[in-house]
């Protein structure tokens, strides 16, 4: 098994997990919208949970997009190359975050700019 196929397997497994999480969150958000809440305390708790779920939902969608981009990069033969410096991303970093777009050094630069 080549290294890229190992990363592809990691990405595909994570993609399945995220798609399941997204589906569950969508169902939960839809069920909350249909609730008839009469008490202020229940409404506040429900609103907080709904807001937290929406934030998680948005983060999961972002990660899913990054995974899909990484899978395309594998197909194109550009996987594991930093989008900023165009150097190879450390394989240890890719094992931890297989959808990483940047090497550690460039990621730190981007974080500081934010």
Q: How confident is the model at residue 33 (pLDDT cuts 50, 70, 90)?
A: low
Q: What is the pLDDT of residues 34-90, one digit of tens each?
A: 555 555 555 555 556 778 888 999 999 999 999 999 999 999 999 999 999 999 999
In a shared domain, residues 25 and 45: yes
In a shared domain, residues 55 and 25: yes
**Structural domain boundaries enclosing 52:** 1-79
In a shared domain, residues 28 and 74: yes
Calpha distance 19→36 (Å, rounded): 28
Inform me whether the pLDDT recorded for 1 exceeds 90.
no
Residue 34 DSSP class: T
Structural domains of the chain, count:
2
pLDDT at res. 52: 85
Helix, strand, coil percent values for the chain (each to nearest 5)? 75, 0, 25
CATH of the domain at 63: 1.20.120.910
Calpha distance 15→5 (Å, rounded): 15
Dmax of the chain from CA atoms?
Answer: 58
In a shared domain, residues 65 and 85: no
Calpha distance 44→48 (Å, rounded): 6
In a shared domain, residues 86 and 71: no
Q: What is the pLDDT of residues 97-110, one digit of tens each?
A: 999 999 999 999 99
């Amino acid at each position: 098994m080549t290294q890229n196929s190992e990363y592809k397997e990691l990405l595909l497994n994570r993609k399945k997990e995220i798609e399941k999480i997204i589906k569950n969150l969508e169902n939960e958000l839809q069920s909350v919208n249909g609730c008839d809440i009469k008490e202020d305390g229940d409404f506040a708790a429900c609103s907080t949970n709904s807001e937290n779920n929406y934030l998680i939902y948005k983060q999961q969608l972002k990660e899913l997009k990054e995974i899909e981009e990484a899978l395309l990069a594998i197909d194109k033969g550009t996987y594991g190359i930093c989008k900023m410096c165009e150097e190879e991303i450390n394989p240890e970093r890719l094992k931890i975050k297989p959808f990483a777009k940047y090497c550690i050094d460039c990621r730190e630069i981007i974080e500081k700019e934010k």
